[in-house]
Chain A
Amino acid sequence: MTMMLPASSTTTTAVFRSSSGRRKNHGAKERIALLRVRASSSSEKETKKRAKEEDKESEVPPSVLGPSHATIHSSSVEKETIEVVTDDPREQLKRYQEKYQYSIRHPGAFWAELAYENYSWENRDEFFKRNEHNERENFDARKGDVNVEFFKGAKTNLAHNCLDRNIEKGLGGEPAIIFESDEGFEREKRCETLTYLQLKEKSDKLANHLIYVCNVKPGDVVVCYLPMIPEVVVTMMACARIGAVHNVVFAAYSAEALAKRIIDSEAKVLVSAAMSYRGGKAIELFKIVAEAEKICEIQGHRIEERVCHFNLPGSEPHTDWPKEKAEILAAYKQRHGGNEMSPAWTDAPHGIMRPYYGLYLFESSKLTLTYNSLLFLL
């Protein structure tokens, strides 16, 4: 059976290319010739171009190309297709074994090539073309500190790679997240789709809020106590965007367990939701959060900023949004010494993440709040 695959999705090329780049493994080079099918008329020209490039590389003194150095070629190769001759499992196993052997003999080169080809880096070319130390590790404490290191010095961003890179490729309108709600079987109730663009927009808003209102700095820990809703992805992307470290706590953990994880991670900012829906039941997450905050407070740790997603039951929880909005803004201003809330957050009529205050002030006995009074506490 014949299968056409784009070159970038078959890392076979990557492996053999690096071998041939070093001009040591001639057998591999021959095989790559068998695998590769050049595209139409321009093929000859390209072959010549490649040969020229390889010649250039071979001129580099061997000492510069250390074993951990990835040999990077121009991206012109990406447009080619490879003909995979068979998907016979035995054939595939053989191919796996060859690639595996290469990967463990030259792990630095193996990973650097993938990193270079498939991901965005701020200093992509300078780093991957010059850097000798893509990878190092020590598992033996007798020989020094135990550590693992990859691509140290290369600059990147997870949210950029997850969102912007795909949007640049034209996937902006494609769905990134399809949210199937607990009651989704009933006429799509509460189901939602976020395209790559929408996910970027939402998470950038939250990122703005985290920076400008919550004062989150790169490296700060943000605790996320969220159920399986799109907001958890929004929050992870927002954190990644600004270099904040997310600490997602499984939303079935108790208040005690949540508090322990907040305190241990020294997090000052908490993102949560009001409710969690599972198996037809509604769980009041906000109570657990409030209790956890109280436990933190008792142990001398204070959550300074919170963002809550108000996924409350009922269809129209925000009937009086203008009034609520005024209250939120006023509370905000007071709390932040006259600073205005970032505009992205003041324009959200329903079901969006908004900051909230003060829950932890209440005794747990008084926490049997109605949803309306919860809103009032904003």
Chain B
Amino acid sequence: MTIWRDAEDPAFILYTSGSTGAPKGVVHVIGGYMVHVGETMKEAFNVKAGDVTFCTADVGWITGHSYLVYGPLLNGCTSILYEGKPDYPNASRLWEICDKYRAKVLYTAPTVIRSLKKQGDEWVTKTKRDSLEILGTVGEPIGESAWTWFHDVVGEGKLPIVDTWWQTETGGHVILSLPNVGEQKPGRCGLPFYGCIPAILDPQTGKELDGPNVEGLLALKPPALPGMFRDIYKNHERYVKSYFQEIDGYYVSGDGARRDEDGQYYITGRVDDVINCSGHRIGTAEVENALARNVFVAEAAVVGIPSEIKGQELFAFCSLREDIQFLKEKAELKSSKYTPEQLIVRDLMDTCAKEIGSFAKPTGGILLLQPGTGIPKTRSGKLVRRVLRKIAKGDLTGDFGDLSAVANPESIQSIIQAKKKANEAEN
């Protein structure tokens, strides 16, 4: 009953968040994806038929597609599919699963590593982990301390850490530290996979920066990797415009990177309006749209703030439709237990959970702004996220450098005041 298809026919669509509006249906094709994923699986994790691999990513993300399902099966491996949470019923669970099924490869995310690290070494050390040969990480840059813990405690200093940078769009690994190839350094992502050429671009001029010790936008230039996406579903224009026309001739990834003196790459994180929260890729615009659909909200801005465990968390600025004094009179906001502000914040959290999912809640905080305060924007109407990010992080000095591009600079002071007030209320 097998239906043979052309290598260039679509295999699947996977939706991912971009910096603007609606999620994009990334289209992958059968032939190129198969070869790319099958071969990267083999090279990155040294697997052969019969090996047991454990990828902790959810199947709803590209990592689940490529290295939980297709990669292991294409190589005749045994893939462990774990239904639950990494810390349920306790923080030993992942290591116990490795022991139980004799996993050779563990492929997980820095956010998981950080959260398990926090629970203490004893949860790890009481397990054997003697079947493991390779540890892999994916999803966001792994910081030095998480890398060191993963290497020293989980791997007992003996196992290679395979860090991998790639995206929903690339289908499979692009930059990675192949096991036992060259020297390992904490936090260093590695070298390009075969058949691809990364480029570092100057964010201002768009010019390619050659040689070692350069930092900028991470892009790819031809030749393409076979697993690269072929289109955005039903929107070829968006495919061309959002990935290839920002800087002509390059696929611009949206991540930043640095190349060191050995020609190896360090990933510095997203440079666009996409937030990486617990390894979930969330577009700020998507959350802003969701918040703006709430009855209390006139306008919303969302930025990412650093978080110890999640990598980044969402922080929302919501400009209210009506004066908070007036809202206090509303029946639905009367409660003996909570203030109207608290009720609104809770309602906004629910809105995000309802419109997108619980993982998209602005757990970093929601700052309610009185009507008329406004949110700083450029004359062309773009949110001035640079300033908002600083305020969200707690920088209330008002010293934000050149603000000549901001159309409504007075709004910045009002937001700082609101944040100060909110901080006081919290204390």
Contact = CB atoms under 8 A, between A and B. Distances in A.
Interface of A: 6, 9, 11, 87, 89-90, 92-93, 96, 99-100, 103-104, 107, 110-111, 114-115, 118-119, 122, 135, 137-142, 145-164, 166, 169, 171, 174-185, 196, 204, 207-208, 211, 218-219, 221, 226-230, 232-233, 236, 239-243, 245-257, 260-261, 264-266, 277-280
Nearest to B33: A158
B183 interface: yes
B263 to A, nearest CB: 9
Contacts of B32: 111, 148, 150-151
Interface stretch (B52-60, B202-210, B396-404, B412-420): B52-60
B82 A149 contact: no
A6 B30 CA distance: 27
Given A92-B180, A151-B7, A185-B96, A178 B60 contact: no
Interface in B159-183: 178, 180-183
Interface stretch (B34-42, B134-142, B265-273, B329-337): B34-42
B243 to A, nearest CB: 8
Contact of A139 (B72, B97, B222): B222
Nearest to A222: B12
Contact of A171 (B76, B355, B358): B76
A150 B79 contact: no
A147 B239 CA distance: 10
B84 A265 contact: no
- Range, interface on chain B: 35 or more
B164 to A, nearest CB: 15
A226 B83 CA distance: 11
A246 B70 CA distance: 13
The interface centre, meaning the residue of B6, B85, B194 with most chain A CB atoms within 10 A of its CB, is: B194
B81 A156 contact: no
Contacts of A266: 234
Interface string B228-263: 101001100001100011001111000000000000
A87 to B, nearest CB: 6
B234 A279 contact: no
B353 to A, nearest CB: 6
A169 B76 contact: yes
Interface in B42-93: 42-43, 48-50, 52, 58-61, 64-65, 69-70, 72-74, 76, 78-85, 88-89, 93
Contacts of A176: 72-73, 78-79
A253 B356 contact: yes
Nearest to B24: A264
A139 B30 contact: no
Contact of A242 (B1, B6, B180, B244): B1
Contacts of A230: 81
A243 B73 contact: no
B49 A166 contact: yes
A143 to B, nearest CB: 8
Contacts of A229: 81, 83
B12 A247 contact: yes
Contacts of A171: 49-50, 76
Contacts of A196: 76
A154 B30 CA distance: 10
A158 B69 CA distance: 11
A196 B353 CA distance: 38
A277 B85 CA distance: 10
A227 B82 CA distance: 10
Contact of A141 (B8, B228, B244): B244
Contacts of B38: 118-119, 161
B52 A178 contact: yes
A154 B244 contact: no
A250 B357 contact: yes
A245 B13 CA distance: 7
Nearest to A102: B194
B88 A280 contact: yes
A256 B356 contact: yes
Given A158-B34, A219-B10, A239-B12, 10 more contacts: A111-B226, A140-B249, A150-B29, A157-B4, A163-B73, A169-B76, A174-B76, A177-B78, A178-B81, A261-B23
B382 interface: no
B34 to A, nearest CB: 6
Nearest to B59: A232
B120 interface: no
Given A152-B7, A171-B50, A279 B76 contact: no
Interface in B99-158: 100-101
A256 B355 contact: yes
The interface centre, meaning the residue of B13, B196, B233, B239 with most chain A CB atoms within 10 A of its CB, is: B13
B244 A139 contact: yes
Contacts of A265: 13, 15, 25, 233
B355 A252 contact: no
A279 B178 CA distance: 33
16 contacts: A115-B31, A148-B224, A155-B4, A156-B5, A157-B30, A176-B72, A176-B73, A178-B80, A182-B85, A219-B9, A221-B13, A232-B81, A239-B12, A241-B3, A266-B234, A278-B85
Contact of A246 (B12, B93, B196, B249): B12
A182 B83 contact: yes
A200 B192 CA distance: 35
Contacts of A142: 248-249
Interface string B353-368: 1111111000000000
